[in-house]
Chain A
């Protein structure tokens, strides 16, 4: 009985507070990350040589350095340059840039899978390279990239838990505080895990709907 009361009176309110912060972190990070990913992915395929080089360096750095370290740099490192970010802003910046690097890889693969013939056809009609990428390649590439990018967003939901390392107290942060006060690690973290599972399930459902909505004959992802 005690356990239930503890859950009801302490765990759930604290985690709901954390959940709100988590969602405020995840939603903008997902959008910015996807935006960066599309931009960088397209530049890596269609950019000029120096642009491709710069974009590759971005991806190498942000995929190669552990996210915690990146967050530390944004939060603890930038003040050395006189730039102060709040824990919340530092987290969004870190998540967006990291997520963008991963997205760009999915996008790049999808763009490259578009048959070259369609680009020739677009050019033959008088499209500029930019028009071709925007009206012919991206609409197809993004449909192909959707399952991969969806995966990255699901992953973002879980690595958003790193925000508490730079004192942005979100779901995991609240759980950690409560657990170390009450010493009920198992209960609290199980409950937090349940919250993440719920978030991921909702995101998965939305992504699935989106995939169905933008489906076009010839672009279906065949399911077994």
Chain B
């Protein structure tokens, strides 16, 4: 675990007009690690994640993948970088006009330039991995929320990402559907996927995360292993927040 970090994010700042969202956030993640972002809404977790793959352009800061700084103004470099950083959204964002299979295939065909036959095989393998083989031909409107999110994970995995960013992947789901998505994510952790995840699933984070990062008002307040952050935080505000979400989201995962 002493290896170089795979992804380094340094001093990211972002303001929308007069509203300052990120006041200088840094993070370094090593291969196979899971870092969990927690914090109240408006803390800047989503913006931070979107800055990491430049869906939101940071005002300042640097991002390095495997030691190479990313120049987001060079389009080709940006598109190539984004292929290596998978993103999972709170509201799934599947392409509504495509079947589950086509949703997973489209990136392989259009972006990676794979031929349709190999793309189909690869996509089916990813769909099987998330346990939705029999739903491959269904459109998003015919899938449950949990199934949609699992397909969106398959879509990201098919691109062979080096890092995955998950922006509250279970927050839009009914309670009984959360488990199936967390199971897929747990499987990713077991397979050594490097991930940054914003979530309120405290039980899951306690069990799976290497580190929990508590953010508020555009800054990292405190970070450390789950055992420390969740039970023995130094900062009063962290304690308060953690006890609140533990109460709300329980220990079960």
Chain A CB within 8 A of B249 CB = no
User: Chain B 155-191 against A: per-residue CB contact (8 Å), 1 yes, 0 no?
Assistant: 1100100000000000000000000000000000000
Q: Are the CB atoms of A120 and B55 closer together than 8 Å?
A: yes
Q: Are the CB atoms of B79 and A120 closer together than 8 Å?
A: no
Chain A CB within 8 A of B119 CB = no
Instruction: Among B87, B106, B110, find the residue whose CB has the most chain A CB atoms closer than 10 A.
Output: B110
Given contacts A218-B96, A219-B96, A219-B97, A126 and B87 within 8 Å (CB-CB): no
Helix, strand, loop or mixed for chain A's interface?
helix
Q: Are the CB atoms of B96 and A125 closer together than 8 Å?
A: no
Q: Are the CB atoms of A125 and B83 closer together than 8 Å?
A: yes
Chain A CB within 8 A of B107 CB = yes
Chain A nearest CB: distance from B11 CB in Å?
Answer: 23
Which A residues are CB-close (under 8 A) to B159?
125-126
Stretch at the interface among A49-57, A88-96, A133-141, A172-180: A133-141
Q: In whole angstroms, how far apart are the Cα atoms of A217 and B107 in the complex?
A: 22
Which A residues are CB-close (under 8 A) to B97?
136, 139-140, 143, 216, 219
User: Chain B 44-82 against A: per-residue CB contact (8 Å), 1 yes, 0 no?
Assistant: 000000100101000000000000000000010001101
Which A residues are CB-close (under 8 A) to B142?
217-218
Which B residues are CB-close (under 8 A) to A125?
82-83, 106-107, 111, 155-156, 159
Identify which of A117, A127, A139 contacts B111 (C-beta below 8 A). Answer: A127
Given contacts A118-B93, A216-B97, A127 and B139 within 8 Å (CB-CB): no
Instruction: Among B80, B107, B140, find the residue whose CB has the most chain A CB atoms closer than 10 A.
Output: B107
Interface size for A (C-beta < 8 A) is 22
Using a CB-CB cutoff of 8 Å, which residues 178-205 of chain A contact chain B? none
Q: Are the CB atoms of B75 and A128 closer together than 8 Å?
A: yes
Chain B CB within 8 A of A131 CB = yes
Q: Are the CB atoms of A126 and B94 closer together than 8 Å?
A: no
Q: Are the CB atoms of A126 and B111 closer together than 8 Å?
A: yes
Q: In whole angstroms, how far apart are the Cα atoms of A23 and B138 in the complex?
A: 41
Chain B CB within 8 A of A65 CB = no
Chain A CB within 8 A of B15 CB = no
User: Chain B 104-124 against A: per-residue CB contact (8 Å), 1 yes, 0 no?
Assistant: 001100110000000000000
Q: In whole angstroms, how far apart are the Cα atoms of A94 and B95 in the complex?
A: 37
Nearest 9 pairs of A and B residues by beta carbon:
A218-B141, A121-B93, A126-B83, A124-B87, A117-B93, A125-B107, A217-B139, A126-B82, A217-B141
B binding-site residues for A, Cβ under 8 Å = 50, 53, 55, 75, 79-80, 82-83, 85-87, 89, 91-97, 106-107, 110-111, 138-142, 152, 155-156, 159
Q: List 25 A-B contacts (CB under 8 A).
A: A117-B89, A117-B92, A117-B93, A118-B95, A118-B96, A120-B50, A120-B93, A121-B95, A123-B55, A124-B53, A124-B55, A124-B86, A125-B82, A125-B106, A125-B155, A126-B107, A127-B79, A131-B110, A131-B111, A135-B106, A136-B95, A216-B96, A216-B97, A218-B139, A219-B96
